Amino acid sequence: MAVQRVVYVIRRDATVEERVEGVPGPACEQATMPFEEALGEVVERTYTADYVLRRMPEPTRETEGAKQRAEAVRA
């Protein structure tokens, strides 16, 4: 599992840069919403590659069994 973290950079002019790492998709916005509401207006939002990544589901016995049945049908 990738490391998930939020990094804040507070600049001398009092602007705050917020960077989310290791959280795919819209979950990053949900994770930072309380902080953004407390800090004030979001002036700019730039999405990273992590935003567009989708986690692949972990294989389960059910999906492994379905995979084996599909392979047997193909044979």
pLDDT at position 70: 65
Helices then strands, counting H and E runs in the chain, come out as 3, 2
Average pLDDT over residues 25-43: 89
Backbone phi and psi for residue 29, each to the nearest 5 degrees, phi listed first: -70, -40
Cα 26 from Cα 30, distance rounded (Å): 7
Q: What is the pTM of this model?
A: 0.58
Going by pLDDT thresholds of 50, 70 and 90, the confidence category of residue 69 is: low
Domain boundaries, the chain: 5-74
Instruction: Report, as an integer, the average pLDDT of 21-48.
Output: 88
Q: Between 7 and 68, whose confidence is greater?
A: 7
Mean predicted confidence (pLDDT) in 5-33: 90
